[in-house]
Amino acid sequence: MIDINLIRENPELVRENIKKKFQDRKLPLVDEVLTLDKRRRELQQEGDSLRAQRNAAAKQIGVLMREGKKDEAEKEKVLSRQLNDRIAQIEEECAQTEVALKKAMSSIPNMIADRVPIGKDDSENVQGKVFLEAKKKPFEVPYHVDILEKLGGIDLDSARRTSGNGFYYLTGDVARLHSAILTYARDFMIDKGFTYCIPPFMIRSEVVSGVMSFEEMEGMMYKIEGEDLYLIGTSEHSMIGRFMGQTLSEGELPQTLTSYSPCFRKEKGSHGIEERGIYRIHQFEKQEMIVICKPEDSEKWYEKLWNYTVELFVSMEIPVRQLICCSGDLADLKYESCDVEAWSPRQGKYFEVGSCSNLTDAQARRLNIKYKNEATGKNEYAHTLNNTVVAPPRMLIAFLENHLREDGSVYIPEVLRKYMGGKTQITPKK
């Protein structure tokens, strides 16, 4: 949600930002917000005036009663009741206007950074930096499910029987590798000075509507039947929600947190073979990083966060690149975003393994997350950022393809060996 003052003072700038995101259907929202905002202020002004008249009438009634002027006092009482009726009408209309205004404001996308490339969709995203040389294997790399099955590390058939498509069992050394990657990622972020957290895996609707748009919620999240609870799609949701309605001291910023959680997503739609298996699934685990900071620090943190993910992957000897998201590929709350993509020797291209976003104060406004500015003494909205440290299902695909040997064994880099009981490789099952 953007600042209402920006729409009041520079509506054309807001319209231009909507056009940059190729969401022209939302242009009428700017005028709708201006109309609703004007009406709300008119109602508030009228209500304040009438409440002042009511207070004056109440005092006058007291004076008249003390003076024994009952007839005049009765007239004032009639006037007071009329004022009360009108005030009640105003308060009801004002509440309805507030709801409509918030809904319209919530649908207007956040302002985007000047350096965001302009493009309609993800096909126009721009490649950034590349890290480690991407190499093709001198042999044909099998489909990732075939690799996993030969290692005795996956059981999809049983998962279909117990849970349906989009679920899996990981077993043996592959399951251990999955946990090793998460544990290494946790320790990696702790060493960067982040505080480790395990958050709730369900959140209320007011948190959901604070961290994402309604369209995103409908497409991603599972609702608990009969409860005002949703399963989280990422720990960012409950981690940011933790600060809902809070005003932090300036000394408490930045909040730098790294969180583990399972994640649950609908993942609707049909997908090609490379996006099946364990690429697009309904349940997975992830290590996330969250930052809440002062506005002037958020762009600096944005650069730090995505580079941490790059450093993690490079330490595991996996080639990656940064992909800068264009305007049309940014979710409504995002000011700026980029993906970290890992190299796939099988496909001969990169694929997404993480995403980093700066949301400036868009989430903070929705969730009322503030800090006290020591210089001004005023409470101001904080900025929020999030980034994937690692999500092992996709990470496993990149790991297996890049470290697969021709004999079917999978090499384990040095940084993971202490989490794998000293193992240097995983070998196929006979």
Number of residues that make up the chain: 430
- What does the pLDDT look like over 295-354, one tens digit per residue? 999 999 999 999 999 999 999 999 999 999 999 999 999 999 999 999 999 999 999 999
Query: Which residues lie below 8 Å from residue 188, measured CB to CB, with a gap of 6+?
Result: 308, 312, 315, 389
The span from the first CA to the last CA of the chain, in angstroms, equals: 57
For every one of its 430 residues, what pLDDT tens digit does the chain have, with 9 covering 90 and above?
Answer: 899 999 999 999 999 999 999 999 999 999 999 999 999 999 999 999 999 998 888 888 888 888 888 888 888 888 888 999 999 999 999 999 999 999 999 999 999 999 999 999 999 999 999 999 999 999 999 999 999 999 999 999 999 999 998 899 999 999 999 999 999 999 999 999 999 999 999 999 999 988 887 667 777 889 999 999 999 999 999 999 999 999 999 999 999 999 999 999 987 654 455 446 778 889 999 999 999 999 999 999 999 999 999 999 999 999 999 999 999 999 999 999 999 999 999 999 999 999 999 999 999 999 999 999 999 999 999 999 999 999 988 899 999 999 999 999 999 999 999 999 999 999 998 7
Phi (first) and psi of residue 416, to 5 degrees: -100, -10
What's the one-letter identity of residue 306? W
Q: Which CATH number fits domain 122-426: 3.40.30.10, 3.30.930.10, 3.40.50.720, 3.40.605.10?
A: 3.30.930.10
**255: three-class secondary structure by DSSP:** strand
Provide the CATH number for the domain formed by 4-107 in this structure. Answer: 1.10.287.40
Tokens in use for 77?
């009482």
Q: Tokens in use for 83? A: 């004022």
What's the predicted TM-score (pTM) here?
A: 0.89
**The pLDDT value given to residue 270:** 46
- Residue 214 is predicted with a pLDDT of 65
Average pLDDT, the chain: 93
| Sheet of 283-293, strand order | 126-131, 320-324, 336-344, 349-358, 383-390, 283-293, 255-264, 195-197
Is residue 209 within 8 Å of 216, Cβ to Cβ? no
Contact 243, 255 (CB under 8 A): yes
SS3 label, residue 128: strand
Domain positions in the chain: 4-107, 122-426
- When computed from its CA atoms, the radius of gyration of the chain, rounded to whole angstroms, is 28
